[in-house]
Amino acid sequence: PALPFSAGLWNDGLEHRWTRWSIGMRELWMAAGLALGLCAVPAQSRPLPAGGVTAAEVIEVLQANGYRAEEDVDGVGDPMVRSATDGSNYAIYFYGCERGRCTTIQFGVAFSMKQSPGLAKINEWNREMRFGRAYLDSEMDPAVQMDVDLELGATTEQLQSVIGTWGAVVPAFKNFIDF
């Protein structure tokens, strides 16, 4: 069933302040919480060293939460992790890597569609949704990404939260583009 993400943008009466925390974000966070709640019990939270994360650490957290995870290498030789959520395969790309520890990661997935949803629809997502940056790829297919900065360190619990958020973004985006 489709998730009820309407992501309304409403004005709270102050001309300078627009609030995005209407229905859409509330459901996004509820879905993220539900996604985490349905996962296997994760390992006890532990701090990760400053300087970022390794692919092995990300894989460990994914697998502890019931996701499949496979290490790979991207086109420039940096680590990459392949996984899936809501029936869609996605990749986690690693950036700023030194000695296997990478300062940022980026979740990404694209959807091949017979008819592109168009730039106006993609812009609507970017304007109204806080998590997940959408764009049209070179074939005009919709894609969504989410960046995470881990340079100053993180915990396994924080990674679990990020994975839960991504697990809510993907089905919300699929519903939004009518995939």
pLDDT tens-digit map of 122-144: 999 999 999 999 999 999 999 99
User: Whole-model pTM?
Assistant: 0.77
CA–CA gap between residue 64 and residue 67 (Å, rounded):
7
CA–CA gap between residue 32 and residue 163 (Å, rounded):
9
The letter for the amino acid at 23 is I
Question: What is the mean pLDDT of the segment spanning 76-89?
Answer: 97
CA–CA gap between residue 15 and residue 21 (Å, rounded):
16
pLDDT digits (tens, 9 = 90+) for 142-169: 999 999 999 998 999 999 999 999 999 9
CA–CA gap between residue 153 and residue 173 (Å, rounded):
29
DSSP state of 135: E
